[in-house]
Structure 1
Amino acid sequence: MSFASLHVPGDPLLLPNVWEFGLAASLAAAGHPAIGTSSLGVSAAGGFADGAPDSRAATVSLARAVTPLDVLVSVDLADGFSADSGEVAELVADLADAGVAGVNLEDGRADGTLAPVALQCALLRTVRARVPGVFLNARTDPLWLNAGSVADAIARARAYADAGADGVFVPGIAAPEDVSAVVAAVDVPLNVLHLPGKTTFAGLASLGVARVSLGSTPYRVALAAALATVAAVREDEPLPVPPPAYGDVAALLPEHPEHPGHR
């Protein structure tokens, strides 16, 4: 089973995003075919700004830790952690050699602007030429950053597909007519971010979406659950979510080579 084959318009891949090994191992043990990393989750866990260059090492470390699991792995590389396309391509090549199946590269920048289309296309072409086998998911952020329209997102998505992207990711899109417009305009699989209260998995599937990412939602839910647990203990109330047993979590860790979900 290839990562690309999981991207089926109308029958999308649900991609949970992780920030640490335990959740990745739990998802693998539960039979999920693929996971992604969360830029916000990895950055926050390390005490860095989202997608900051300082989070590069943590991102690579997590990717190397989870690739031995029986699950396909896509890594969120933000803007690639470098302005040098050759350096970004080498990073992707190193991750592919470690067993990573896919990567995300985005055109949004930390200052809220978008990379010039020509510059982003050049980056994608460089990565594609250096690493032909990895699933290259090109994220475009006009809607996420409130820096453009649906038409802008479509224009960028089409340019990135022409530059060699295997799929395009348009976070922030939610209205059915907008999702349908992107699906119709772009010849590669469309990845959409699930937005609680605004989109549904079944609804996105019906519109022809091929991949639904959870993004930072699991990380933020975990924070909420942890805070609620502390509050529940203080008030002598039942825990909001029953936790797995200590031993069950320990059995997922690498020192247990036979743990569920390990290759």
Structure 2
Amino acid sequence: MTPFATLHHADEPLLLPNAWDHASAHALAAQGYAAIGTTSLGVAAAAGLPDGAAATRDETLRLALTLGSGPFLLSVDAEGGFSEDPEEVGEFARQLAVVGAAGINLEDGLGPTARHAAKIAAVKAAVPDLFVNARTDTYWLGDGEGTLERLDAYQEAGADGVFVPGLSDVEEIAGLVKRLDVPLNILYSPNGPTVPHLAALGVRRVSLGSLLYRRALGAAVQALTDVRAGHTPNGPTPTYAEVQAFSG
């Protein structure tokens, strides 16, 4: 079992913060997190490109190259693999592994189950040690119908873990945990179960997705509003030297 896979089988679930650039990744790692993920929304928005449209392949690979040698294990949000050709997705995964990625997140976007399963199988064939977190969007884009069938297919294709963003019902989460043979990843929501509650349900990985990126944007706008109104911005502000240090 790889070090990254081991984090999914520890006493506590893996709480995975998602970064969008070098500084954010190193700032999060400095808080003691052994693994850092990327957020496709943050990567896309920073480049002025749409998320979920297979438009950020180069940006994603470039960020992985920047972060892959960092003092943390890196999991890359690769949308749907930036191709509908499983072999091309496998090759992209191989490139991510070469620059240091320990994991990849692949979403089905409610495309055909068989096609996504083929992508997963291609990645595992190309890079057996790369942790594949197979995401289904049955709750993110739909009403949950077909979740078990998709997850069963993704497990059979070789997924090391499965991800069901948008699912927050505690009974349904507990039911999935009992049915799965691999770790379940849930997307944290401020309106959903807390991390301790998810841990008690058997969830093994909790992702923050784009939450930190969106909060950072919100904090920047709020700070500007406070300054304009004659108030001192609240909240921690890293010094110039601290941010410089993240560049190592």
For CA contacts below 8 A with separation 6 or more, give which structure has more relative contact order.
Answer: 1
Partner SS for 1:7 = helix
Change (3 A) 1:54 1:95: same
Q: 2: distance between equivalents of 1:56 and 1:129?
A: 21
Residue 37 of structure 2 contacts residue 75 of structure 2 at CA under 8 Å; is this kept in 1?
yes
**Percent identity over paired residues:** 48
Structure 2 equivalent of residue 235 of structure 1? 229
Structure 2 equivalent of residue 123 of structure 1? 119
Residue 158 of structure 1 contacts residue 185 of structure 1 at CA under 8 Å; is this kept in 2?
no
Q: Which runs of 5+ in 1 are unaligned?
A: 109-113, 257-263
TM-fit CA distance, 1:197 = 1.8
Residue 144 of structure 1 contacts residue 172 of structure 1 at CA under 8 Å; is this kept in 2?
yes
TM-fit CA distance, 1:9 = 7.0
Partner SS for 1:31 = coil
Structure 1 residue runs of 4+, over 2 Å off? 51-54
User: Which of the residues 200, 203, 219 maps onto 2:194?
Assistant: 200
Moved more, 1-10 or 180-189: 1-10
Q: 1: distance between equivalents of 2:123 and 2:7?
A: 22
Q: 1: distance between equivalents of 2:169 and 2:202?
A: 13
Partner SS for 1:74 = strand
User: Which of the residues 146, 149, 158 maps onto 2:152?
Assistant: 158
Q: 2: distance between equivalents of 1:162 and 1:140?
A: 14
TM-fit CA distance, 1:147 = 5.1
Structure 2 equivalent of residue 14 of structure 1? 15
Partner SS for 2:155 = helix
User: What root-mean-square deviation, in Å, do the aligned CA atoms of Structure 1 and Structure 2 show?
Assistant: 1.3
Structure 2 equivalent of residue 214 of structure 1? 208
Q: How many residues align?
A: 247
Pair 1:32-2:33 in alignment: yes
The one-letter code sitting in structure 2 at the alignment partner of 1:138 is A
Residue 14 of structure 1 contacts residue 211 of structure 1 at CA under 8 Å; is this kept in 2?
yes
Residue 81 of structure 2 contacts residue 89 of structure 2 at CA under 8 Å; is this kept in 1?
yes
User: Which of the residues 145, 161, 165 maps onto 1:167?
Assistant: 161
Q: 2: distance between equivalents of 1:210 and 1:68?
A: 25
Structure 1 equivalent of residue 66 of structure 2? 65
TM-fit CA distance, 1:8 = 2.5
TM-fit CA distance, 1:168 = 0.2
The one-letter code sitting in structure 2 at the alignment partner of 1:129 is A
